[in-house]
Amino acid sequence: MTPTTVKTAPIPGQKPGTSGLRKKTRVFMEPHYLENFIQSIWNAIGGLSGKTLVLGGDGRYFNDRAAQVILRMAAASGAAKVIVGQGALLSTPAASNLIRQRKTDGGIIMSASHNPGGPDEDFGVKFNMPNGGPAPEDATDRMVKATQEITEYHILEAQDVDLSTLGVSTLGEMQVEVVDPVADYAALMEKLFDFNAIRAMFKAGFTVRFDAMHAITGPYATAILEETLGAAKGSVVNGVPSPDFGGGHPDPNPIWAKDLMDVMMAGSAPDLGAASDGDGDRNMIVGRGCYVGPSDSLAVLAANAHLTPAFSGGLKGVARSMPTSRALDRVAEKRGLDCYETPTGWKFFGNLLDDGRISLCGEESAGTGSDHVREKDGLWAVLLWLNILAVTGKSVQQTMTDHWAEFGRNFYSRHDYEAVDTDRANAMIEALRAKLPKLPGTEILGRTVESADEFAYDDPVDGSRSEGQGLRVSFNGGGRIVYRLSGTGTVGATLRVYIEDASDDPSTFLSETQHALSEMISIADHLAGIAENTGRTAPDVRT
Ligand code: G1P
Ligand code: ZN
């Protein structure tokens, strides 16, 4: 088995977005496409000689083939070892954990997260650093540069490695260790949470429905919730990962997890409903008759985390991405915690976690996490909720009602306009950007603008600056609208409009979200001219 060097040329557009390189699967399957990008990662991290990596993915179509290519390329570039999840599977948080536990030089995660999978859907590759977190911008910039300069890649000619059997084998000079994708992760969860308390709650009749959406968390949730914690058999539904996620869209929100929503809104609903996404880093929480928005969930977790072993010493600080609602800020203020505001994407939390400035963080896009790994973690969030409910004995609805009574409520919704013509979307953002300086002090449909700017982030740990992170307009009284273009979409542009309004009036707390936000929604359209500029009269998705 000798490494072959294959001549190649740069392929345009190999630029990692918010979370790795995502493209249509057929694009990834084009000649040299995957190989060019993988070689560019190796080149950007200073080569692979003597290094150890973790490799796994969410099981989507092409996951198995891509894994074999990546292994052959790692072997050809002199890697010492690759630790692979059995069947080339690993959830994103489990991969992050393995990188950390085994102190590897990083890892490759094959996933397009919550995007659908299949030959006509999406595939993706991301590189995580030795701290277990997504590559930061300076590393992804080096990758992009490497993709633009690539002239050749190295690959071993070899048979497929058997990834179905646990144990160590060799590929050329490189070791391949196939590990149980669940075991280390499950052990970590047991350390963080009071499993006895959760077990006792299930024994006393508490019911849960975890919808794995035919994606990677099925095996994790079955092992932990059903087999270890004693939730009734069948509590985990859609628990077998499938290459096209059962034809569904593995994004845990009320639209794509509608089946779960329907069950939870019915009379005989379980006590807690939850779902996770394609690669297991997102979560949705819903109580009986009570959907919990991700921003609210983050705030509730911040307010109650100290009730669980993982955070018994209290939180160091908290962080949220800029477009995430400011419900978290209210908790931080009352509890005297530092609260950081970062750009969208998990990579920005890594430095704050590494530096010990925060212990809990999250995004409005159903991502919540802590310093236990360097990714958001879907099942972890569900376990944290379960642990809190086991301690307080409250229902989800009661938890929310009590939370709003103590902290006030931030109504919040994200409106997405998908596959918008890229030029039109860019023109709209540009026009709005130009308007921002004149907005403060003006009145729009009865609300006065307090501030308006384009968000830029100065990382307090490494001093790096990230610009162009979204346009934000805040109003007197706590309303806010944020506009940004998605960095993960694969067709045209996706315009995200994040709408928030604050209330301290208890008589409003149970209002329906879109209704409570109707004024801000009109302002959002008026301000940016969404209808004229995109030709759309309504968003494709409201979460
Ligand atoms: C989206 C979410 C963002 C999340 C990312 C990866 O990115 O908005 O919060 O970190 O997916 O899961 P976007 O498409 O908005 O760039
Ligand atoms: Zn994901």
What pLDDT sits at residue 447? 94
In terms of C-beta distances under 8 Å and separation of at least 24 residues, what long-range contacts does 456-463 make, across chains too? 457/322, 457/341, 457/342, 457/343, 457/348, 459/348, 459/351, 460/340, 460/351, 460/352, 460/357, 461/351, 461/352, 461/354, 461/355, 461/357, 462/351
Ligand 2 centre from 210 Cα, in Å?
A: 16
**C-alpha of residue 363 to centroid of ligand 2, in Å:** 12
For the chain, give the mean pLDDT: 95
User: What spacing in Å lies between the alpha carbon of 92 and ligand 2's midpoint?
Assistant: 7
8 Å CB contact between 63 and 57:
yes
113 assigned to active site: yes
Least confident interval from 71-75, 209-213, 379-383, 475-479: 475-479
Residue 44 has pLDDT above 80, yes or no: yes
Residue 17 has pLDDT above 80, yes or no: no
What local confidence, expressed as pLDDT, does residue 536 receive?
87
Please work out whether the CB of residue 345 comes within 6 Å of at least one atom of ligand 1.
yes
Question: Which of the 8 DSSP states describes residue 179?
Answer: E
Residue 490 in this model has a pLDDT that exceeds 90: no
User: With 0-12 CB in 10 A as exposed, 13-18 as middle and 19+ as buried, what is 338?
Assistant: middle
18 Cβ below 6 A of ligand 1: yes
Name every residue whose Cβ is closer than 8 Å to that of residue 264 and which is 6 or more positions away in sequence. 209, 270, 273, 286, 287, 288, 289, 290, 291
* Shared fold status for 2-181 and 409-542: no
Hey, whose CA ends up nearest to atom 4 of ligand 1?
A: 345
User: What per-residue confidence (pLDDT) applies to 124?
Assistant: 97
Q: Which atom of ligand 1 is nearest to the CA of 18?
A: 16
Kindly state if the Cβ of 344 falls inside 6 Å of ligand 1.
Answer: yes
Fold of 409-542: TATA-Binding Protein (3.30.310)
Give the rounded percent of residues in the chain with a pLDDT score beyond 90.
90
Close Cβ partners of 87 (under 8 Å, ≥ 6 residues apart): 59, 64, 163, 164, 181
pTM of the shown model: 0.94
Q: Where are the domains of the chain?
A: 2-181, 185-407, 409-542
In this prediction, residue 347 has a pLDDT band, given cuts at 50, 70 and 90, of confident
Q: Which DSSP state fits 56?
A: E
Residue-wise pLDDT for 77-125, tens only, equals 999 999 999 999 999 999 999 999 999 999 999 999 999 999 999 999 9
**Ligand nearest to the backbone CA of 345:** 1
Active-site position among 19, 111, 113, 370: 113
**Closest ligand by atom to 96 CA:** 2
Residue holding tokens 């938890």? 399
Q: What is the mean pLDDT of residues 5-14?
A: 96
Q: How far is CA 486 from CA 125, 198, 280, 390, 469, in A?
A: 17, 38, 20, 37, 10
Query: Which whole-number Å values give the CA distances from 11 to 20, 30, 73, 108, 332, in the listed order?
Result: 16, 11, 18, 20, 46
Mean pLDDT, range 474-489, rounded to an integer = 91
**489 pLDDT higher than 80:** no
Burial class (CB in 10 A: 0-12, 13-18, 19+), 143: buried
Return the CATH architecture of domain 2-181.
3-Layer(aba) Sandwich (3.40)
Rounded Cα–Cα distance for residues 421 and 194 (Å): 50
Q: What does the alpha-carbon distance between residue 263 and residue 268 come to, in Å, rounded to a whole number? A: 8
pLDDT of the residue at 487: 82
Confidence band of 18 (pLDDT split at 50, 70, 90) = low
**Of the ligands numbered here, which is closest to the C-alpha atom of 251?**
2
- Contacts for 493 with CB less than 8 Å, ≥ 6 apart: 419, 420, 421, 422, 425, 426, 485, 486
Tens of pLDDT, residue by residue over 351-387, are 999 999 999 999 999 999 999 999 999 999 999 999 9
Compare 2 and 210 and report the one with higher pLDDT: 210
| Angle of CA points 506, 508, 512, to nearest 5° | 140
pLDDT digits (tens, 9 = 90+) for 293-324: 999 999 999 999 999 999 999 999 999 999 99
Report CA-CA distances (Å) from 134 to 31, 93, 282, 371. 26, 11, 15, 14
Q: Which fold has domain 185-407?
A: Alpha-D-Glucose-1,6-Bisphosphate; Chain A, domain 3 (3.40.120)
User: Does residue 1 register a pLDDT over 80?
Assistant: no
Residue pLDDT, tens place only, 266-299: 989 999 999 999 999 999 999 999 999 999 999 9
> Which band of pLDDT confidence, cut at 50, 70 and 90, is reported for residue 346?
confident
